Amino acid sequence: MRMHDIGSWPRNATLASSDGRGWANIQAALLAVDAWSGELAPIGNPCLGYCVNQPARIRRRVSGGGAIETATLRPRQFHLIPALEASEWHRHGRSEMLTLYLRQEMLDAAAARACSAHVGRVELDVPLGVHDPLLEQLALAVLDILRHPEDVGSRFYADELAHAAYAHVVRGYTAVGRSSTFDGERDGAPERALRRVCELIVDRIAEELPLDALAREAGVSPRSLSRAFNRRFGMSVHQYIVSRRVLKAKDLLASTDLPIVEVALEAGFSSQSHLSAVFRKQTGVTPSLFRSART
């Protein structure tokens, strides 16, 4: 199985590895990973990273116009190195990480079994810094095997843990698993996540609403959230936020006597001039003219 040789990088170290143990369905390594920046090429197999100890600040961007994700990866949280796309990484801090490399063909087969149909190649979409109790238990079981000398039953046990991991990640972290085949979710992001983000935008319209923070609150990745918004609303998350801010400004202009500068701030615009520029672009009139037409 192809893997990134992260343990051999300068200042990194491989503390334990499944290499040479004959594991058929998964490859794992416990690594000490230091700060670094660079690009990881796609190797055809996804890698789940589990933070064992010490937090690290991570910035990740998947190629192909993906959004930049920034988070503090804390112990007991996961991240993903994609299988099929290059990814840019900036890491600050040293910690121990467990890497779990999955076989793409087994992932595809697990998705096909789950749907009772051929689904082609599936892609994992794991939010940066997600906490998943079941996946964590599987990771800790693998880690326990790595930390002990190999025995007769360890290879069988590791492969059975791998089967459970494939079933779980297909269900929770693929568009196939989030589809109506399982539980009424579709388009790579759960319906409840879309509803949650829309509610957050309305409730916090006057605040900064960065994409990565909204995605983190909804429990999906920024990339998944962006795709879901485009499919559902035909616009980006940012465009949706702007449209809601214009609606909020319209409501305040029509129903209150607030000065326009206060309307701008209440609706989440940085200034009166910012509101005027966006408002005129979307409605064809200035906020003043809109208010006067309503009186």
In this prediction, residues 18-47 reach a mean pLDDT of: 94
> Which of the listed ranges 39-43, 81-85, 95-99, 119-123 does the model predict with the highest average pLDDT?
95-99
pLDDT tier at 178 (50, 70, 90 boundaries)?
low
> Rounded distance, CA 219 to CA 208, Å?
19
Contact between residue 166 and residue 24 where contact means Cβ atoms under 8 Å apart: no
Is residue 51 classed as helix, strand or coil in its secondary structure?
A: strand
122-148 as b/e: b if 16+ CB within 10 A: bbbbbbbbbebeebeebbeebbebbee
Range of weakest confidence among 38-42, 156-160, 170-174, 263-267: 170-174
> Which of the listed ranges 117-131, 164-178, 237-251 does the model predict with the highest average pLDDT?
237-251
**pTM, 2 dp:** 0.66
Residue 261's CB is within 10 A of a number of other CB atoms, namely 13
In this prediction, residues 12-30 reach a mean pLDDT of: 95
> Rounded distance, CA 156 to CA 13, Å?
27
Helices (H), 96-236: 104-115, 133-146, 154-173, 191-203, 211-218, 222-233
180 pLDDT higher than 80: no
DSSP state of 207: S
In this prediction, residues 27-54 reach a mean pLDDT of: 95
pLDDT tens across 47-60, in order?
999 999 999 999 99
pLDDT tier at 187 (50, 70, 90 boundaries)?
very low
pLDDT tier at 147 (50, 70, 90 boundaries)?
very high
**What is residue 21's predicted lDDT score, i.e. its pLDDT?**
92
Q: How many CA atoms lie within 13 A of 163 on its CB side?
A: 6
190 pLDDT higher than 80: no
DSSP state of 206: T
Contact between residue 127 and residue 219 where contact means Cβ atoms under 8 Å apart: yes
pLDDT tier at 227 (50, 70, 90 boundaries)?
confident
pLDDT tens across 197-226, in order?
888 998 899 999 998 888 888 877 888 888
Q: Mean pLDDT score of the chain, rounded to an integer?
A: 87
In this prediction, residues 109-126 reach a mean pLDDT of: 80
> Rounded distance, CA 295 to CA 289, Å?
10
Is residue 40 classed as helix, strand or coil in its secondary structure?
A: strand
In this prediction, residues 27-33 reach a mean pLDDT of: 97
In this prediction, residues 234-259 reach a mean pLDDT of: 90
**What is residue 62's predicted lDDT score, i.e. its pLDDT?**
86
**What is residue 64's predicted lDDT score, i.e. its pLDDT?**
58
**What is residue 117's predicted lDDT score, i.e. its pLDDT?**
58
